[in-house]
Amino acid sequence: MPLLGETLAQARAKRRLSQSQVCELVGISKSHLSRIESGKVLPSFAALERLCNVLELSERKRRELERELEELQARATVVRLATVVAEMERNRAEADTLAARLTAVEQTLEELVEKVRAMKPRARPRQRAIR
Return the SS3 of 1: coil
Please give the pLDDT value at position 1.
45
33 vs 23: CA distance, rounded Å: 7
Please give the pLDDT value at position 131.
64
Q: Which residues contact 6 (CB under 8 A, 6 or more apart)?
A: 37, 39
CA 106 to mean position of chain CA atoms: 36
- Say whether domain 4-118 belongs to CATH 1.10.260.40: yes
Please give the pLDDT value at position 93.
93
Could you tell me the pTM of the whole model? 0.66
Please give the pLDDT value at position 127.
73
72 vs 3: CA distance, rounded Å: 10
Per-residue pLDDT of the chain (131 residues; tens, 9 = 90+): 458 999 999 999 999 999 999 999 999 999 999 999 999 999 999 999 999 999 999 999 999 999 999 999 999 999 999 999 999 999 999 999 999 999 999 999 999 988 888 887 766 667 776 76
Nearest to 63 by CA among 50, 74, 52: 52
- In the chain, what are the domain boundaries? 4-118
Please give the pLDDT value at position 95.
95
Q: What is the DSSP letter of 35?
A: H
